[in-house]
Amino acid sequence: MTAQTSLPSEAPLTRRKRAVVVGASSGIGAALVRRLAAEDFVVAALSRSPEPLQALANELNTGGQTRAIPYAQDVTKLEEIPAMLQRLVTELGGVDVFIYCAGVMPKVDINEFDLEKDQHMLSVNLAGAVAWLGQVGALFQKQHSGHLVGISSVAGDRGRVLNPAYNASKAGLDTYLEALRNRLSRHGVHVLTVRPGFVDTQILANAPRSFGVISPQQCADGVWKAIKSGKQVVYVPWWWRWLMLAVRNVPSFIFRRLSF
């Protein structure tokens, strides 16, 4: 399941920081792998698509140093996750930062109810996240350290008429991350919820409208800054915090009439 896992014998992994990014083949995930590699992490990059992961590893593994290692894993195959995590711990020598970035948002029309689309979003965006974050949370609790990060969305702040299952998957992820934060903070573990606005990724193609679009690299830079500063919840860009505060306070009888 791995296109490349061997590490050069001279690489002092025990002296380097180690990260895992799930959903790393493109967009924000790939940008996070690049950002962490630039910070001298060795990064396990996971996705169900091995080809773009290998291309990313080839891009980063220059000068005789391993910075990214590709692993193929489908987050909907929940039964594989415990063994995969153990494999990562063994091959990396431990984990310091874990980021769950896998996410899907198919196009859903305003009058469409599609069980297959809804189930897929819930499986990838929420069930896969809970499975991975829970397993890594248990590991970090035992080692009394670690940064646990979930890439959510401003879409989770309120239920919109468009794509209810996507909104629900991100709202569920927000609540799960908050619960993990409350549980793990007493064990020295940092849990970060990231709520991006519009980012120039494949998901943006299915958004009915967009504004203030940022690049995946800008989003990754914001995530890294939040990890370093120990923030609990961060909106990327920052001004989404105030916009969503206004949205959350729109009365329900008005909000339900809106078309976004």
Return the half-sphere exposure (C-beta side, CA atoms, 13 A cut-off) of residue 208. 10
* pLDDT for 14: 47
pTM here is 0.92
- Is the separation of the CB atoms in 41 and 67 below 8 Å? yes
Asked if the structure places residue 105 within a domain, the reply is: yes
Domain range for 74: 13-255
pLDDT tens-place string over residues 137-166: 999 999 999 999 999 999 999 988 889 999
Q: Does residue 1 register a pLDDT over 80? A: no
Asked if the structure places residue 142 within a domain, the reply is: yes
Q: Average pLDDT, whole number, for the chain?
A: 92
**Rounded Cα distance, 3 and 70, in Å:** 6
Q: How many domains are there within the chain?
A: 1
Decide if 235 is catalytic: no
Please return the burial class of 9, using the count of CB atoms within 10 Å of its CB with bins 0-12, 13-18 and 19+: exposed
Q: Does residue 259 register a pLDDT over 70? A: no
Asked if the structure places residue 7 within a domain, the reply is: no
Cβ atoms < 10 Å from Cβ of 219: 25
Catalytic residue (choose from 71, 100, 166, 235) = 166
Residue 209's domain is classified under what CATH number?
3.40.50.720
Say which range, 61-70, 115-124, 196-205, has the weakest mean pLDDT. 196-205
Asked if the structure places residue 6 within a domain, the reply is: no
Q: Does residue 3 register a pLDDT over 50? A: no
Asked if the structure places residue 260 within a domain, the reply is: no
Strand 41-47: give its sheet, edge to edge.
68-72, 41-47, 17-22, 97-100, 147-151, 190-196, 233-236
Q: Does residue 64 register a pLDDT over 50? A: yes
Asked if the structure places residue 3 within a domain, the reply is: no
Q: Could you write out the DSSP letters of every residue in the chain? A: --S-----TT--GGGSEEEEEES-SSHHHHHHHHHHHHTTEEEEEEES-HHHHHHHHHHH--TT---EEEEE--TT-GGGHHHHHHHHHHHHT--SEEEE---------TT---HHHHHHHIIIIIIHHHHHHHHHHHHHHHHT--EEEEE--GGGGS--SS-HHHHHHHHHHHHHHHHHHHHHGGGT-EEEEEEE--BSSGGGGG-S---S-B-HHHHHHHHHHHHHHT-SEEEESTTHHHHHHHHHTS-HHHHTT---
* pLDDT for 210: 77
pLDDT tens-place string over residues 194-203: 999 999 998 8
Q: Does residue 10 register a pLDDT over 80? A: no
pLDDT tens-place string over residues 178-190: 999 999 999 999 9
Asked if the structure places residue 127 within a domain, the reply is: yes
Listed residue (51, 174, 73, 152) closest to 105, CA to CA: 152
**Rounded Cα distance, 150 and 194, in Å:** 6
Asked if the structure places residue 182 within a domain, the reply is: yes
